Amino acid sequence: MRTWGKVLFIWLLTMMPATMGLTAPQIQSEAAYLINADNNKVLYEKNGDKIMYPASTTKIMTTLVALQHGELDSIVTVGADAVGLEGSSLGLKAGDQLTLRDLLRGMMAVSGNDAAQVVAEQVGGGSSEVFINWMNETAAAVGASSTHFSNPHGLPDPDHQYTTAQDLAVITAYAYQQPGFGDYVSHKYQTIRFINRGISETEVNMNELLGLYPGCNGVKTGTTQEAGECLVASAKRNGVQLIAVVLNSSNRWQDAAFLLDYGFKQVGGQQPSDTVVTKQPVEQPGYKVVTSKGQGSGSNGTATGGNLDNTTADNKLVSSRGDTKWQPVSNKADSGTDKLLEVGWSGGGSVDAAYLFPANGVYLGPVVKRDSQKTDKITCGVRLAEQLLTNKLAELGVYGDGSADAAYLFQVNWGYVGPTVKYDRQKTSKVTFGVRCSIPI
């Protein structure tokens, strides 16, 4: 290997994280599980069968049972007993009327415990116990043998509300087979209409991976003092659907991203599946984010020991009318179907353009370079790019004139941009620096 190749190889090793290989990720969750939802193949496991609190990940089953037994267009009237239920809240008031469909959308977006209780009573024909029995019957039917529910929202019950990371993965994979389930968990925003109030509210989903992690299409957060921070996350790339479960984590977003990255490196070439709704979040122009205090049972208006998913702030969107607009960041790259159009500039009069295609979890494609300092000004080559975690690209380009470059790009609102280092053994100044831009198309 020539000296320039050694230098470039060592530089890449220092730049790229361990996830470039298939070394199992080091995560902080007490329990975790990762499966291919298309065949339930286990890709990662840590204390997968340990009994844990589910917190608001319970609402995955609540939504599933409601879809199986409820009439989505039926009008629901909120009763007084669900109002003010501790923990995260949709802000329901006694007498509010909305469709079951909108109730489910709001429940899954802001993790409303009040909404979950109303869903159970409505679909259960006035009895939440009937609904909870359906939840437990469904868990048993799908093989979640270490799971039991005593309520539809996930507030802690030491003896009767429990699950495992493995069971939650199995339940979620089954839920995605239910027509329409993806609509309630895959959108960054959900607009619900209060019929009696004559207004609509657009709720922001609490799952921060939506619109951030490439290919993310669900599914549900959960937080209580007893359960810690929990997350069931799903993503689909190249037709392959993965489900990651992290329970009692000190960094659930990072843990889930690590697991999904690890999984896609294993299964990127598998056959596609068409069982999952994968609609992308839609920007809501003319809105800005505001917060309203959550409702709980504590004396200060927050929950004490209950579900804390949204106790401090319920994110909502209201018309800005000239104020600064809140706009989501576009994160199309590496969703499994997008391509990358790239341009790079380097010192010494070199500029190149590349067109990269997704291939088995990476991007690969041709690159053309023009170097004003060389006799043969135009040369062709090949370029490789790989997504790192949620917001970076690591790239390597090799050219026919013996030169090579490496780039490390950071995500911005229109794509990726970052520094590049080029090595050209034919030049006096063998090492030059520059900048590279990558735009998902």
What does the block give as tokens for 227?
């359960």
Looking from the CA of 386 toward its CB, the CA atoms found within 13 Å total: 19
Contact 268, 361 (CB under 8 A): yes
Contact 65, 131 (CB under 8 A): yes
What does the block give as tokens for 36?
């291919």
Is the bond leading into 219 cis (omega within 30 degrees of zero)?
yes
Which residue among 29, 88, 111, 350 is the active-site one?
Answer: 111
Is the bond leading into 282 cis (omega within 30 degrees of zero)?
no
| 372 tagged catalytic | no
| 56 tagged catalytic | yes
416 forms beta bridges with 411, 438
Which residue among 59, 220, 369, 374 is the active-site one?
Answer: 59
What does the block give as tokens for 12?
């890449």
CA dihedral (420, 425, 431, 434) positive or negative: negative
By DSSP bridging, strand 350-359 and strand 362-371 are antiparallel
What does the block give as tokens for 414?
């229109």
Phi/psi at 190 (5° precision) = -135, 125
Which residue among 56, 88, 249, 438 is the active-site one?
Answer: 56
Q: Which are the contacts of 267, defined by CB distance < 8 A and separation ≥ 6?
A: 36, 41, 43, 240, 242
The Cα–Cα gap between 112 and 106 comes to: 7
By three-state DSSP, how is residue 219 classified? strand
Please measure the distance between the N-terminal and C-terminal CA atoms of the chain and give it in whole angstroms: 36
Q: Is 21 exposed, middle or buried (0-12, 13-18, 19+ CB in 10 A)?
A: exposed
Which residue spans within 37-129 are E strands per DSSP?
41-46, 75-77, 97-99
Chain position carrying tokens 């690209």: 393
Q: Which are the contacts of 92, defined by CB distance < 8 A and separation ≥ 6?
A: 78, 82, 83, 112, 114, 115, 118
The Cα–Cα gap between 107 and 101 comes to: 10
| 111 tagged catalytic | yes
DSSP 8-state symbol, 163: B
Residue 51 CB neighbour total at 10 angstroms: 13
List active site positions: 56, 59, 111
